[in-house]
Amino acid sequence: MTQFSFELDAMDSATAARAGRWTTPHGTVNTPAFMPVGTLGTVKGLLPAQLREAGTRMVLSNTYHLALRPGAEIVAELGGLHRFMDWDGPILTDSGGFQVFSLAGMRKIDDDKVVFRSHIDGNLLELTPEKAVLIQEQLGADCIMCLDECPPSGESLEKIGKAVDRTTAWARRCRDAQRRSDQALFGIVQGGVHPEMRQRSAEGLLPLDFPGYAVGGLSVGEPPLVMYQILDRTVPMLPVQKPRYLMGVGRPEDILEAVCRGIDLFDCVMPTRNGRNAMAFTSQGPVRIRNAVHMRDEQPLDPECDCTACVRYSRAYLRHLFIAREMLGPILLSLHNIAFYQRLVRQLREAILQGCSADFRANQLARWNRQS
């Protein structure tokens, strides 16, 4: 793992927030950092150059989906995922563990493996921990994830305990199966909304000495306050000198709260999914651009944003694009939302460096709440 390093530039004494630098074979990522989701090797509707322009330094893709199409072997033959999708920055690939949760009706699971019924053509895809690592090694991402079981938040304590133990056993198998030294393999702490299960998971994973740790199984239906309480209990158990990744989160306010609890990395489909559905995140709160109030509105989408959507176009024009069902509308709002998220984590980093992350959080939440 000599191609990886994680250095802390600052830790805010008023919160648990950290500002760091995570060096990977494809560049250094300043943390806190947000990764747009490019499940199939593309962030929907956006070119890599547009992602760069919006401030993105790292993206996420998905093992399960890329294994189905075009196939990990094909990606490897064509030079790996970086070359395939024309992205020269760091990439993280999820192991397919989230699909254990999201595609529960299309899979069978036991202690050895998960077998999925493809949502595309009905063919079977078998994922063992060893196979999940092999696929990710073929894809060639900088950061790869252990295969895990993500249980629903309302699952029984007994079943969550079984999922935790299975996740730990699979993590050991993933570690033992890894062959490439230019990929950082992260363990994933599970345990639902039960602090004792989170502790059980962390205690099983920490001896495996992964180069980074993720917190999985949150933002799957539990109230935000419960998520924050679980982070309060879980994050302090994770190594200080290694990156911490909160999977699949989320809302801007959740990122604020999680950073102030010591999380470094985030991913979520929310910026692009909401953008495609005419909802923009702005410094003044969410804007639903289809609303008739914007029909003649000449002001920019967000006066504090310098993205193309805000600098060149009015709210009236953006609304027109959605009403007319022109594809440019979803593209511009997706681009804007990514820029918003990247600006948020940059401002958070600066606040941490200045020792004022608590004030920054309070001020941001107050601004957004005034508009809601």
pLDDT at res. 153: 74
Q: What is the mean pLDDT of each run of 10 residues along the chain (372 residues)?
A: 89 96 98 97 98 98 95 98 98 88 85 91 91 98 96 88 97 98 98 96 98 95 95 98 96 98 98 98 96 98 97 98 98 98 98 97 91 56
d(CA 361, CA 351): 9
CB 202 within 8 A of CB 171: no
Nearest to 245 by CA among 110, 148, 166: 148
* Interacting residues of 186 by C-beta distance below 8 A, sequence separation 6+: 143, 144, 145, 146, 210, 211, 212, 213, 214, 245
Q: What is the pLDDT of residue 71?
A: 96
Token pair of 102, please? 């999201």
Residues serving a catalytic function are 94, 267
Closest to 339 in 3D by CA, of 295, 300, 292: 300
How many whole angstroms separate alpha carbon 50 and alpha carbon 36?
12
| CATH number for the domain running over 32-268 | 3.20.20.105
**What are the sequence ranges of the domains in the chain?**
32-268, 270-372
